[in-house]
Chain A
C-alpha cells in the first residue's frame, strides 16, 4: 500500500491504468474503505455459517479485507462492491477450507434440466403456519447441515438478498446452476425443518397427505 502510494506521489507518467489511481491513497481510498467496512456484519455472518466456527469466520473475514485492499484497483467503482467482496471471501473459503474451488461444472449433478424433476404435489404440503413453531437454532442447524454448494447459495440469495445474477457472479456459475442449487437446498431445508416440526409435535405425522 504505502509503496504504491509513494510511487503515485512521485507523479509517474502514463500509463497509470495498471497502477492505483494517483489519488487513491487519499480521499478515494477513504471512500473505498468506508464502503467496504460497511459490509462487515453481512460478510461475518455469512463466514460464520460457511465455516461454522467463529474463530475461522474472523480469520476468513479479515483475510477477505486484506485481499480486498490489495486488489482494490481491480474493483470498478460504481459496480456492486458487496458482490465483489463476497466473491473474494467465497474464493478464499473454498481455497483455504475446502482444498480448492469447485468447478462450475456440476459436482452435484445439478443442471437446469433437472430443476423441476421432483415437483411436490399440490395439496400434499403442510400449511405455512407450522413454520411459526420452529426455533431459530433449528433453522441455523438445518442451514449449516446443507452441503457447502447448497449452503452458500441459500446464504447469498435468501439471507443476503442477492439477485440470481449476482449470486451467479459470486459463485462463478451460470444462473441456471444458481436456480437448481437453490431449488435443491430449499427442498432439503424444508425436509429437515418439517421433520423437526413433526418431532416437536408442531405438525402431526402425515398431515398434508390427507389433503382435506
Chain B
C-alpha cells in the first residue's frame, strides 16, 4: 500500500468501517510510514475531541419527568 491509497482508506480506518484485510493493510502502512501515522493520529484525535466535547450534555430533569409521565 502506498501513501495515496492509505489516505483514501484512512477515514474508513479511523471509523473502523473497512474490512479486515483493508484494516490490516492500512495498519501495516501506518507502522511503516511516519507522515501517514501522524495524519492518522490527528484524525483520531479530532474524532475523540469532538466526541468528548459534544457528549457531555444530559437531558434536564424536568424533561425526563415529563417524558416519564407521557411514557408511563
Contact = CB atoms under 8 A, between A and B. Distances in A.
A and B co-occur in one complex: yes
Interface of A: 33, 36-37, 40-45, 48-49, 54, 58, 61-62, 65-66, 69, 116, 119-120, 122-123, 125-128, 131, 134, 136-137, 139-140, 143, 154-155, 157-161, 163-164, 179, 182-183, 186, 189-190, 193
Given A122-B39, A128-B45, A186-B43, A164 B50 contact: no
Contact of A139 (B8, B49, B57, B66): B49
Given A40-B64, A139-B49, 10 more contacts: A33-B71, A37-B67, A120-B39, A122-B39, A123-B38, A127-B38, A128-B44, A143-B53, A159-B55, A189-B50
Contacts of B67: 37, 40, 61-62, 65
Contacts of B68: 37
A137 B49 CA distance: 11
Contact of B71 (A69, A134, A160, A190): A69
Interface of B: 3-4, 7-8, 11-12, 15, 17, 35-36, 38-39, 41-47, 49-60, 63-64, 66-68, 70-72
Given A122-B7, A127-B42, A48 B70 contact: no
Contacts of B39: 120, 122, 125
13 contacts: A33-B71, A40-B67, A44-B60, A48-B57, A62-B63, A62-B67, A62-B70, A65-B70, A119-B4, A126-B42, A128-B41, A139-B54, A163-B17
Contact of A131 (B45, B57, B64, B71): B45
B70 A69 contact: yes
**A interface: dominant SS:** helix
B15 to A, nearest CB: 7
A119 B7 contact: yes
A203 B5 CA distance: 29
B46 A193 contact: yes
Given A119-B4, A131-B45, A140 B54 contact: yes
A159 B51 contact: yes
Given A37-B71, A45-B55, A61-B63, A139 B50 contact: yes
A154 B50 contact: yes
Contacts of A160: 55
